[in-house]
Amino acid sequence: RAAHRGRRTEQSLINKPNVSSQYHKEIQKRRTFGIISHPDAGKTTLTEKLLLFGGAIQMAGAVKSRKTAVHATSDWMAIERERGISVTTSVMKFNYRDYEINLLDTPGHQDFSEDTYRVLTAVDSALMVIDSAKGVEAQTTKLMEVCRMRNTPIITFINKLDRDGMEPLDILADIEEKLQIECVPLSWPIGMGKGFKGVYDLHRRQITLFTPSQDTRPEDCIVVQDLADPMLDELVGVFAANKLREDIELLQGAANPFEYEHYLKAGQTPVFFGSAINNFGVRELLDAFVELSPPPGPRATTTRMVDPSEESFSGFTFKIQANMDPAHRDRIAFFRICSGKFTRGMKVMHHRLGKEISLSNATVFMAQERSHVDEAYPGDIIGIHNHGTIKIGDTFTDKEELKFTGIPNFAPEHFRRVVLKNPLKMKQLQKGLLQMAEEGAVQVFRPIVGNDYILGAVGVLQFEVTMTRLKDEYGVDATYEPLSYTLARWVSSDNKQQLREFEKKHQFNLALDAEGHLSYLAEGSWRLAHTQELFPDIVFHKTRESV
């Protein structure tokens, strides 16, 4: 008969490279990725399920509790809790089949999108979660733009099929239109909401039937070689069976064929359907993910590309996180290995400081715990204790002087003047602001004229976090005064004469950022446009790479 019950088969969509050396095998089995989605689409739920399938956690609910219980003692985490948003980014490592997966969690709230951007510089691919009832939402679009800047390959998961939502074809059209990326469905939903019956795997021609449950991991499926088979009607009902037949016929006429190279260049996204909370479609997604998503690839430095197959060690810091452990007030630098093998205690060159440092107690972040790491490979993220010597963007290598590129500062859009309540705390204020600027938590500007501290942020919640941390960690009591600036631009020019005139005329709008770069603060884009007209040789930059 044409249809029979069986286990899901492994049937590869792509040819895999044949590698021999142990080092190359380690690279080939690594997958480092982030999840992008609009808040509430189901990122946390999916993360949890991925960890569950990977065996990294045993129980549903674990990821949510990480958001609340563990950090309950930390005050600034209270902001996160009160507002129900995830401010911080963490790294979770887990295994699935033969793969070692690093999942980099990103803050969902748009006020922390700078942080999200930096995290996405450290991934090799992304998973996009979309709520089937809502389609593409604002934050999805923004994050997609970020992925596009680096041509990050994206796999899409349409979530919440157990609820009534948009027609699957309409969701695809919505993605293609709003995100300008070709969709290639690799699975297809059979019904939705109360009538959700399961998904059809277009590649393997298998149906997996849906049973709502948060605890099972569906593995059984039914192989359907011919959709015309009347057994399909028995399985899912005549209505759903006919709808599936119609949909698939439409798809065969209209849908793009899957092209691996096109996906790798972020021109095409494979699409899967499911329900994260019910564990449905998650295994299919994970199987496709490990198979399709790229292992660590080459990365750009200011001088050359670095290939992961190079055996000499290199990598960069993309995030610094304070208060991971509130009891110790520690600061951890998250470091992405780009080439070479890390071994515990190895010495590396810290190129910005021009000195050697020892990576003695680096940490990996397993799903629920931290543990010391003895070895790590390209694609892995290690945590290094930071005593104020590591900044975002810092490159470490075992010999060659390199500087990885692509970790910019974004021009802030919100500004506040810091008013210190107790002038004797000036030193602590300086220290706190400098450290938080180095962590990328907030941007700090010193006006050319006067002694003020001006903070710049991409999202206003950053100010709240900064103020709370100043008080908790540095004992500084301060308040903010509003400022009328709405944008900042980093300034440069080859015309030295014009630059001098510009500096003279606009001295009250000029400031130095934490790294001493000249910045122009303006009250609106009309003001910037006007200034640009008067000083045509001045270049106003919206982003600036850390040095």
The beta strand positions in 220-339, using DSSP E, are 220-224, 268-273, 299-300, 305-306, 314-322, 331-339
Sheet of 182-185: strand order equals 91-96, 99-104, 30-37, 125-131, 154-159, 268-273, 182-185
Out of 29, 31, 43, 336, the only residue in the binding site for ligand GDP (CB under 6 A) is 43
C-beta closer to ligand GDP: residue 168 or 315 = 168
Residue 219: C-alpha distances to residues 4, 5, 236 (Å): 14, 11, 18
With binding defined as CB under 6 A, does residue 189 bind ligand GDP? no
With binding defined as CB under 6 A, does residue 40 bind ligand GDP? yes
Helices (H), 54-96: 62-68, 75-83
With binding defined as CB under 6 A, does residue 339 bind ligand GDP? no
Out of 28, 37, 74, 462, the only residue in the binding site for ligand GDP (CB under 6 A) is 37
C-beta closer to ligand GDP: residue 159 or 323 = 159
Contacts of 182 (CB under 8 A, 6+ apart): 176, 256, 262, 267, 268, 269
317 is in an annotated binding site: no
Distance CA 83, CA 146 (A): 25
Out of 162, 201, 394, 473, the only residue in the binding site for ligand GDP (CB under 6 A) is 162
User: Which one of the spans 2-10, 15-23, 38-46, 480-488 is the region binding ligand GDP (CB under 6 A)?
Assistant: 38-46
With binding defined as CB under 6 A, does residue 39 bind ligand GDP? yes
478 is in an annotated binding site: no
With binding defined as CB under 6 A, does residue 113 bind ligand GDP? no
With binding defined as CB under 6 A, does residue 277 bind ligand GDP? yes
C-beta closer to ligand GDP: residue 115 or 162 = 162
Residue 404: C-alpha distances to residues 122, 154, 319, 363, 522 (Å): 11, 23, 14, 22, 31
User: Which one of the spans 40-48, 245-253, 262-270, 453-461 is the region binding ligand GDP (CB under 6 A)?
Assistant: 40-48
Contacts of 104 (CB under 8 A, 6+ apart): 32, 33, 34, 89, 90, 91, 119, 122, 123, 381
Distance CA 57, CA 325 (A): 21
Smallest gap from residue 117 Cβ to ligand GDP (A) = 18
C-beta closer to ligand GDP: residue 281 or 295 = 281
Phi, psi of 189 (to 5 degrees): -75, 145
Out of 3, 27, 36, 41, the only residue in the binding site for ligand GDP (CB under 6 A) is 41
Cβ–Cβ under 8 Å, residues 444 and 513: yes
With binding defined as CB under 6 A, does residue 393 bind ligand GDP? no
Residue closest to 132 by CA, chosen among 176, 166, 90, 98: 166
With binding defined as CB under 6 A, does residue 406 bind ligand GDP? no
Residue 66: C-alpha distances to residues 69, 85, 120, 408 (Å): 6, 12, 22, 29
Smallest gap from residue 167 Cβ to ligand GDP (A) = 17
C-beta closer to ligand GDP: residue 118 or 160 = 160
C-beta closer to ligand GDP: residue 278 or 317 = 278
Report helix, strand or coil for 385: strand
Smallest gap from residue 127 Cβ to ligand GDP (A) = 12
Helices (H), 255-341: 260-264, 282-292
Out of 66, 160, 416, 425, the only residue in the binding site for ligand GDP (CB under 6 A) is 160
Report helix, strand or coil for 439: helix
160 is in an annotated binding site: yes
Question: How many residues bind ligand GDP, per CB under 6 A?
Answer: 17
With binding defined as CB under 6 A, does residue 45 bind ligand GDP? yes
CA-only gyration radius of the chain, Å? 25
492 is in an annotated binding site: no
Distance CA 274, CA 280 (A): 5
108 is in an annotated binding site: yes
With binding defined as CB under 6 A, does residue 143 bind ligand GDP? no
Burial of 69: CB neighbours in 10 Å, binned 0-12, 13-18, 19+: exposed
With binding defined as CB under 6 A, does residue 281 bind ligand GDP? no
Q: Which residue has the tokens 């939705």?
A: 192
Smallest gap from residue 37 Cβ to ligand GDP (A) = 5
User: Which one of the spans 4-12, 175-183, 275-283, 361-369 is the region binding ligand GDP (CB under 6 A)?
Assistant: 275-283
Token readout for 318 is: 């993309």
Binding site for ligand GDP (CB under 6 A): 37, 39-45, 108, 159-160, 162-163, 275-278
Binding residues for GTP, by number, are: 37-44, 105-109, 159-162
Binding residues, by number, are: 37-44, 105-109, 159-162
